[in-house]
Amino acid sequence: MTIYDRPLDRGALGPLADPDARHSGAASTRAARAVSRPQGGESVRSGSFRPAAFAPLIDRAARAHDIDPLLLHAIARVESRHQPNAVSHAGAHGLMQVIVPTARRFGVGAAQQLRDPETNLDVSARYLKTLQQRFGNDLPLVLAAYNAGEGAVEKYGRKIPPYRETQGYVRKVIAEYDLLRRVSTGHRSATVLSRVAAESDL
């Protein structure tokens, strides 16, 4: 299981074109975009914040795909506030806000299936594992790809794309992950947070 506590030394973002572009790096844009989040002008149907209710399912998905369960919790918190019926205007569904084109890569083809927490978490964990393998367990890049699409990360030289939403998303998830890890282990992932700050123009 990858626990992100190692120092990271990737350099800052270089000169980047189209700083205000949104997800222009993803192949076929919307179709290849990994996850669409319920923020930045999008809305999520109201619901209670219930992280504990999904802890067993999160732990199961994490074990099945060798993902840190605290990372899944952090993403679920930022994506949907642990709301299984959350739906964004961009068509992302469930706890982990997965869109159908991404889910189809893992054999799930219907939006209704993504509203099942167990299915949603399984698809998300499998996708995260794919991203970890592709980007060498580099947490900021994994999260950037989860948000903006793998193509966007590749387009900008395997750095965090210069999209405000994506940069903010990466920082929020890492901060949430850091908080959860501090609560559980007393360890701070300051090196990762510093890396994100260095690669962000915000």
Mean pLDDT of 19-36: 33
Mean pLDDT of 79-106: 95
* Phi, psi (rounded to 5 degrees) for 57: -70, -40
Q: How far is CA 65 from CA 59, 69, 160, in A?
A: 10, 10, 24
Pick 189 or 78 by higher pLDDT.
78
Strand partners, 35: 98
Please state, for a pLDDT cut of 70, what percent of the chain lies above it: 67
Report, as residue numbers or ranges, the catalytic residues. Answer: 79
- Please, are residues 98 and 35 in contact by the beta-carbon 8 Å criterion? yes
- Summarize pLDDT for 140-172 with one digit per residue, the tens: 999 999 999 999 999 999 999 999 999 999 999
Amino acid identity for residue 116 in this structure: D
Mean pLDDT of 25-49: 37
For each of the domains in the chain, give its residue range(s) and CATH number, in order of start: 52-198 (1.10.530.10)
pTM attached to this predicted model: 0.72
Instruction: Please report, to the nearest 10 degrees, the dihedral formed by the alpha carbons of residues 134, 139, 144, 150 taken in order.
Output: 0
What letter would DSSP give residue 63?
A: H
Closest listed residue to residue 177, CA positions, set 129, 136, 142: 142
Amino acid identity for residue 108 in this structure: V
User: Rounded distance, CA 176 to CA 182, Å?
Assistant: 10
Mean pLDDT of 88-105: 95
User: Rounded distance, CA 123 to CA 57, Å?
Assistant: 12
The answer to whether residue 47 scores a pLDDT higher than 80 is: no
